[in-house]
Amino acid sequence: NNIHYDETEKTILIVGEYSGSVGLGEKSLESLGGNDIFLANLNESYESLWTKEIGSLGRDEIKAVHYEGEDTFLAINLGGEGIIEDGKMSDSEGGGLILYRIDGEGNTAWNIKISGTIDTQWMHGGVRSGFIGLGYDKGSLYMMFKTFAETKVLGYPLEKDKVYLCKFSDKGKNIW
């Protein structure tokens, strides 16, 4: 879905979706749901430096990717319950739109659940997930999205058919 070349580190970061299995260098990943998500960081000889998998027991989709320095920001729709990260199931409820910040070593710096109830494959908790943008400026992450119904996102009531912009700090705290 997305490839980023870091000229300073001379590395290639690939972000994508897969179902079944995918071979990434010496490592092979098996999806646990319909689609899962992977990140693979390769050197210029295409040797794997690290890989990361994120997904749920349902069909998962990448909606936006933004690179800032060594960090990668992802907006992901998780299509089912439970969050699977690097082969381990977390106790998080999963399902819905989740923002991730992945550091240059492949570790999750933070993740934030934006919405919860899954209404259809494309609409999650009132947020139209097909319309998501990510940007980063002066230590803050910005996410833009459109609602399809009255809903609450991060505790804020939102109106139907409006475009909203959220601002998050470097630590993943919602500012507005």
pLDDT surpasses 80 at 155: no
CA-angle at 45, arms to 25 and 76, nearest 5°: 55
23-60 in b/e form (b: 16+ CB < 10 A) is ebeeeebebbbbbbbbbbbbeeeeeebbbbbbbbbbbb
**Nearest Cα to 79, choosing from 63, 66, 64?**
63
Instruction: Please report the pLDDT score of residue 130 as a whole number.
Output: 54
- pLDDT tens-digit map of 158-167: 788 888 888 8
The mean pLDDT value for 32-43 works out to 88
Which residue is listed with tokens 């990943």?
29
38 close to 60: Cβ distance less than 8 angstroms = no
User: Burial of 106 by CB count in 10 Å (0-12 exposed, 13-18 middle, 19+ buried)?
Assistant: middle
Question: How confident is residue 3, by pLDDT bands cut at 50, 70 and 90?
Answer: very high
pLDDT value at residue 90:
66
For 129-148, what is each residue's pLDDT tens digit? 555 788 888 888 888 877 77
Composition of the chain by helix, strand, coil, percent to 5? 0, 65, 35
Task: Decide if pLDDT at 127 tops 60.
Answer: no
Calpha distance 148→124 (Å, rounded): 9
Q: What integer pLDDT is reported at residue 93 of this predicted model?
A: 59
